[in-house]
Structure 1
Amino acid sequence: MSLSVVWNNEQEDYEITSGLIGLLETILQKAGEAEGIDEGEVDLTFVNNERIHELNLEYRGIDRPTDVLSFAMNEAGEDELEIHYGLAGEDEELEEVPHVLGDIIISVTRAQEQAQEYGHSLERELGFLFVHGFLHLLGYDHQDAESEAEMMSKQEKVLAQVGLTR
């Protein structure tokens, strides 16, 4: 098994190309290597500001759009199996179901606004938001200056490895 991205596009503001998905897959591999994660699945959805606003209100109680939301799936209790297996018929072997690390939802609309505001490419902004969301799936946060500096450093190292510097 390997680290992979399963993606879905629910917006019409920007065409999601195979080149962009390839870049995000590379970012995922680099971020995974840096964190010692070499297998699992990340579900990525591209949305617009209206949809991410709805999700932000529903799940976080914040009544405004945001750039990225992350929903981790790795909160298994001690008694729960960490590897999940699919069902099989009598003549079939059990197949391993990918371990889903969680969901990352990115507002392409907000990413476009931020890329323009910060003076860099949309690909750089989407890459930043993706690695930011991935780190949240692994339990990183930025509630104080120290944890924010740690996350920022990790994000910038990964983005530099794929040539997405400011």
Structure 2
Amino acid sequence: MSLEIVWSNEQEEFEITDHLIALLEEILQHAGQAEGITKGEVDLTFVDNERIHELNREYRGIDRPTDVLSFAMHETGEDEPEIIYELEDGTGPEEVPDVLGDIIISVARAKEQALDYGHSLERELGFLFVHGFLHLLGYDHQDDLAEAEMMSKQEAVLAQVGLTR
């Protein structure tokens, strides 16, 4: 298994194209390589401001929309058993995909921020995606040093795919 995106679209404001998904997959490969992550699954959902507002309120206690939310699912311990499951056709066991977590992006908020920052919506969505991915890996931006580290990593990945400011 490789590093891959499983995505869904729950908003109607912006068409999610194959080109955008291919770009985000390329971003994921570069970000994963930079962090030494070569396999796993990232679940990505595109939503509107109303839905991300609900999620932000429910899970973070913040009663306003935000641009991106990340919910990490990957925690392993040394003595944890490997989980396997049998395929529906009965052909034998297979490893359960290593789900790193969920990234939820408000496309409406991304559009607003792209206008505010004077760059493309693709760049903003790419930025939010790699930002969310780094959160899945445990990065945070609670202080200036941590924020600078995250920003540097994000910008390096975006530069690799040509999404500079």
Measured against the shorter chain, the TM-score band is over 0.9
Partner AA of 1:53 in structure 2:
H
> CA, structure 1 residues 116+94, in 2 after alignment: closer, same or farther (shift >3 Å)?
same
The aligned residue for residue 30 of structure 1 is: 30
Q: Unaligned stretches of 5+ in structure 1?
A: none
The aligned residue for residue 126 of structure 1 is: 125
Q: Distance in 2 between matches of 1:156 and 1:110?
A: 20
Query: Deviation digits for residues 42-81 of structure 1, max 9, x if unmatched?
Result: 0000000000000000000000000000000012344423
Cα pair 1:102 1:137 within 8 Å, conserved:
yes
The aligned residue for residue 68 of structure 2 is: 68
The aligned residue for residue 15 of structure 1 is: 15
Shift of 1:86: 1.3
Query: Deviation digits for residues 72-120 of structure 1, max 9, x if unmatched?
Result: 0012344423x43113589531012210000000000000000000000
The aligned residue for residue 146 of structure 1 is: 145
Q: Unaligned stretches of 5+ in structure 2?
A: none
Partner AA of 1:50 in structure 2:
E
The aligned residue for residue 102 of structure 2 is: 103
Equivalent position SS for 1:133: helix
Partner AA of 1:130 in structure 2:
F
Q: Distance in 1 between matches of 2:144 and 2:74?
A: 25
Partner AA of 2:154 in structure 1:
Q
> CA, structure 1 residues 92+66, in 2 after alignment: closer, same or farther (shift >3 Å)?
same
Runs of 4+ off more than 6 Å: none
- 1:115 correspondence with 2:102: no
Q: Distance in 1 between matches of 2:37 and 2:87?
A: 28
Partner AA of 1:157 in structure 2:
A
> CA, structure 1 residues 2+47, in 2 after alignment: closer, same or farther (shift >3 Å)?
same
The aligned residue for residue 86 of structure 2 is: 87
Q: Distance in 2 between matches of 1:151 and 1:124?
A: 16
RMSD of Structure 2 on Structure 1 (CA): 1.5
Q: Distance in 1 between matches of 2:46 and 2:89?
A: 39
Give aligned-pair identity as a percent: 76
> CA, structure 1 residues 8+145, in 2 after alignment: closer, same or farther (shift >3 Å)?
same
